[in-house]
Amino acid sequence: MIRLLALAILLCVACRWIFGKWPWEYLRAQSPADRSLARARAILDVSPRATPDEIRAAHRRIATINHPDRGGSATALQEANAARDLLLDHLSRTRTEPPE
């Protein structure tokens, strides 16, 4: 029984070390804000650690593809614009907030 408990603790620590999260953090439901940030990152195809310059470059790339003057969709361009604005706003807020 103690071996099983030790193995479980070891696996939890390994998960934290490898993935940066405790196993039970994967069980929590995402908040609506987290879901919208994840969707914005998916639209622009950027990582969660993307810099403002990477976000702007990804937006430029998506905007070039989806611009209505080039046969793209106005809705897709609006989504890309909203995704860029959301991610840049989130980055500016997280950088100006004092650490807890």
pLDDT digits (tens, 9 = 90+) for 25-58: 877 767 888 889 999 999 999 999 999 999 999 9
Per-residue pLDDT at 98? 56
Nearest to 91 by CA among 46, 26, 60: 46
Extract the tokens encoding 92.
């500016």
Q: pTM of the predicted model, to two decimals?
A: 0.66
> How many CB atoms lie under 10 A from the CB of residue 65?
14
Extract the tokens encoding 45.
């195809």
**Apex 80 CA angle, 74 and 85, nearest 5:** 125
Query: Which pLDDT band, with edges at 50, 70 and 90, does 77 fall under?
Result: very high
Extract the tokens encoding 60.
């430029």
Per CATH, the number for 31-100 is 1.10.287.110
The boundaries of every CATH 1.10.287.110 domain in the chain are 31-100
